[in-house]
A = this chain, B = another copy of it.
Amino acid sequence: MQKQFTRDQIDRLEQRYRANLINSLSGFKSANLIGTRNAEGNTNLCIVSSVFHVGANPPLMGMLMRPHTVVRDTLSNLKTTGEFTINHVNSNMLLQAHQTSARYESDVSEFEQTNLTQEFSQGIKAPYVAEAKIKIGLKVKSIQLIELNKTELVIGEIIELFLPSTIIADDGYLDIEAAHSICVSGLDSYHNTSRIDRLSYAKPESQPSSIWKPPKTKDFDIC
């Protein structure tokens, strides 16, 4: 049976119920761990479901952050140092990744608390997560306030990438499913995926067809 919610009904929902409902509406979301360091060099790690693609050239990624939630350390760190990492959450480290959303004290590193392993590159001071298969290093390019609800849109420019060579398809597509990257629905539901298909570029005069070819060097032992 179809259920309708009017705006008035939405506004009268109990706060937590409304949060669960509205957070479910956008569909599946990415699950990423954001690594930062503060001015003293202490590391911080935080799971977010708000990372999204902004552009390929220049390579830009964005995330939306609500300043007064557990991301406040992350936000403060990336404003101070101008750097952060994005690390795909995979199914092998889901519980640890979720645990980073606990409200630890500011001087506590989520790496220590969750037994995730920090690792560093030459290119950036922010920490990567060793357990992640897909790791992206970024410099902050802009922080814009969304006036409507005082969230902050952080956009970073990619400066380096680390990923398994076995997931790179001939045309540059990454088989993130083979890397066991997972997705999120609502505030707290995590999902594995199974590919339906990759579809050809749509044209008015023809129907889409399959273009899926597994990466040639695919190795199911990578994760």
Contacts and interface: CB of A to CB of B under 8 A. Distances in A.
Interface of A: 1-7, 10-11, 13, 15-32, 49-62, 64, 66, 86, 88, 91, 94-95, 98-104, 108, 113, 123, 134, 136, 141-142, 144, 146-149, 151, 153, 155, 158-166, 168-169, 171-174, 176-177, 181-183, 185-204, 207-208, 211-212
A164 B54 contact: no
Contacts of A164: 1-3
A193 B193 contact: yes
A119 to B, nearest CB: 11
B172 A18 contact: yes
Given A6-B160, A20-B173, A149-B55, A28 B30 contact: yes
Kindly list the 5 A-B residue pairs having the minimum CB-CB distance in the complex, ordered from nearest: A27-B30, A20-B172, A17-B172, A24-B174, A28-B183
B53 A3 contact: no
Contacts of A196: 91, 94, 182, 190-192
